[in-house]
Amino acid sequence: MLRLENIRKEEKLTKMQVSKMLNVSDVTYGKWEHELEQIPTKRLFQFANLFKINIDYLVGLTNIKIPKKEQYTLNIIEVGQHIRELRLELNMTLREIAEILAISNSTWSEYETGTYLIQSTYLINICKKTGISIDYILGRSKIKYLKDLL
């Protein structure tokens, strides 16, 4: 459950205003807001920076809204390291995690090496299942587990 619309309305902004802020068409943004298309990880990150909130709240992994004063930079290599750390912590092979997400081993490997940024669908699903913070994975927080946000 994405909270894009709620946050936009709290800020008294139109879809068109937010789409311009994100440098996407208002049609594309509207699809994300109504969950007709999955918002890319890069845009989730950007949205959270714009509205100075945590991504875990934005995607509905927690009801705890944490203000973020800092503007973060997305570091795909760091994201890959955190994804690898997550897999190792789960004591899973590349094959096992790829099977759970219904993706190829090479795709997961490319996420771990920072060749590609993990798709938000996979990121949300894996964090939902493990209780690990998306903000931690994306380098926006030092708090690793959602249970520790309190």
What's the confidence (pLDDT) of residue 150?
74
Q: Does residue 65 belong to any structural domain of this protein? A: no
Q: Does residue 64 belong to any structural domain of this protein? A: no
> Are residue 54 and residue 84 in the same domain, yes or no?
no
DSSP string, the chain: ---HHHHHHHTT--HHHHHHHHTS-HHHHHHHHTTSSPPPHHHHHHHHHHHT--HHHHTTS-S------SPP---HHHHHHHHHHHHHHTT--HHHHHHHHT--HHHHHHHHTTSSPPPHHHHHHHHHHHTB-HHHHTTS-S--BGGGG-
Q: Does residue 71 belong to any structural domain of this protein? A: no
Q: What is the CATH number of the domain that holds 27?
A: 1.10.260.40
> Are residue 33 and residue 86 in the same domain, yes or no?
no
Q: Report the Cα 89 to chain-centroid distance in Å.
A: 19
> Are residue 102 and residue 51 in the same domain, yes or no?
no
Q: Does residue 68 belong to any structural domain of this protein? A: no
What's the confidence (pLDDT) of residue 145?
96
What's the confidence (pLDDT) of residue 68?
94
Task: Copy the structure tokens of residue 134.
Answer: 């998306």
Q: Does residue 11 belong to any structural domain of this protein? A: yes
How many domains is the chain partitioned into structurally?
Answer: 2
Q: Does residue 133 belong to any structural domain of this protein? A: yes
Q: Does residue 31 belong to any structural domain of this protein? A: yes
Task: Copy the structure tokens of residue 98.
Answer: 């790829």
> Are residue 81 and residue 144 in the same domain, yes or no?
yes
Whether the per-residue pLDDT at 123 is higher than 90: the answer is yes
Question: Could you read off the pLDDT of 42-77 as tens digits, one per residue?
Answer: 999 999 999 999 999 999 999 999 999 999 999 999
Q: Are 107 and 121 in contact (CB under 8 A)?
A: no
> Are residue 80 and residue 144 in the same domain, yes or no?
yes
Q: Residue 102 sits in which domain range? A: 76-149
